[in-house]
Structure 1
Amino acid sequence: MNDILVIDNLDQLKCVSDPFRIQLLSILGDEPKTGQQIADILEIPRAKIHYHLAELEKNGIIELVKTEQKHSIIQKFYLPVAKKLVPSHELLRYRDDEKKKDRLSYPLKINENNLDSFKKDLKKLVKKASTKKGEEEFIVQVMPLSDSDEN
């Protein structure tokens, strides 16, 4: 399981915008479960669970991690693909690209031992550049990416 899944398309965002699906992700947690196990926990019909699990799997939010045959039934066990879901900043852009030249994004590879020092320096820089009467607000975000997200 990755640490973070960056949601980079509207279908994924729509998929996880459903409160029931968020509840399913929470129940799945770190231990693989079947649709039947989740249905038993929530005391609702298995068909409803399977529909939502299929949507989550189709959109790359959960994955099938193992199957077991119990009598004549094949049980499918699912897990979320990541511990956290984060929407891409590009996906949430709502303004025209006329100020695109003002936007910047840099990939940063830093040794974990230097991260605290970097955060302190960044905080000082943000404080120095901030004004109470600024025309626009920006956000500076430092977010760890798993190995698979760096490619």
Structure 2
Amino acid sequence: MLDVTVIEDAEAAAVSLDPVRARLLAELAAGPASAAMLAGKVGLPRQKVNYHLKTLERHGLVELAGERRKGNVTERLMRATAASYVISPQALAAVQPDPDRFRDQLSAHWLLALGARLVRDVGSLLTGAAKARKRLATYALDGEVTFASAADRAAFVEELTAGVSALIRKYHDGEAEGGRPHRIVVAVHPEVRSEAGSEAVEAPTDPEATH
């Protein structure tokens, strides 16, 4: 089972968003189970659960883990193909975000478009790598910094931009034979805090945060 996989097909995305099927995926992510075993957990008849399982299987969201005999019946044990799923913007191809339409480094909407493209591209790369049975070379850095003031935040962004730009200039070789372009995405955004069980976004402290 994969830790996370990307759903690129629109029909598969719609199937996964059904509340009952989403619950079944969650149950099967915990371990293999049959329709009869799941029926009691989700409060549905076995036949109805079996229908949903076949739909999930048809779209590659669950797979056969094995079979077992129970009396005169052979039960199919199903499992989720991943522990978690991400829906790619490719599933909404006609209206997916396009960061090339505009560029505004201080726009949260542009940041969201970049994030959507990241999900789409990495999802496609993972699919291709799996088919080719090759590993995908990627790198990610996740960190947290607390700024004492808006001025410190602005200074940090300026230094970050200068540092990354210098690295790009140092290592970029557009004429390298056999070279493969890599995309670099760097993002800075406020942390989402959870207060009293609900998400709360801190009020902006500088004009940049309102974009």
**Which bracket does the TM-score occupy, shorter chain normalised?**
0.5 to 0.7
User: Which whole-Å deviations, capped at 9, do the CAs of 1:97-146 have from their partners, x for residues lacking one?
Assistant: 69469776576623xxxx5xx3349x955349x94465xxxxxxxxxxxx
User: Which whole-Å deviations, capped at 9, do the CAs of 1:63-100 have from their partners, x for residues lacking one?
Assistant: 11001122321110011100111011332451586946
CA separation of 1:97/1:120 partners in 2, compared to 1, >3 Å: closer, same or farther? closer
Partner of 1:6: 6
TM-score normalised by L of structure 2: 0.50
Cα distance, 1:27 vs structure 2: 2.2
TM-score normalised by L of structure 1: 0.67
Does 2:51 match 1:51?
A: yes
Inter-partner Cα distance in structure 1 for 2:99 and 2:43: 51
Matches within 5 A, 1:1-151: 1-93=1-93, 94=95, 99=100, 105=118, 109-110=138-139, 115=140, 118-120=141-143, 124=157, 125=160, 126-127=187-188, 131-132=208-209, 134=211
Secondary structure of 2:142's match?
Answer: helix
Gaps of 5+ in 1: 135-151
CA separation of 1:72/1:27 partners in 2, compared to 1, >3 Å: closer, same or farther? same
Query: 1:30 is matched by which residue type in structure 2?
Result: A
Secondary structure of 2:69's match?
Answer: strand
Aligned length: 126
Inter-partner Cα distance in structure 2 for 1:75 and 1:5: 27
CA RMSD of aligned residues (A): 3.3
- Higher relative contact order at CA 8 Å, sep ≥6: structure 1 or structure 2? 1
Identity over aligned pairs, percent: 24
Inter-partner Cα distance in structure 2 for 1:6 and 1:95: 15
Inter-partner Cα distance in structure 2 for 1:34 and 1:64: 10
**Greater share of residues in helix:** 2
CA separation of 1:83/1:48 partners in 2, compared to 1, >3 Å: closer, same or farther? same
Cα distance, 1:43 vs structure 2: 3.8
Query: 2:72 is matched by which residue type in structure 1?
Result: S
Larger radius of gyration: 2
CA contact (8 A) 2:89 2:96 kept: no
Inter-partner Cα distance in structure 2 for 1:71 and 1:30: 25
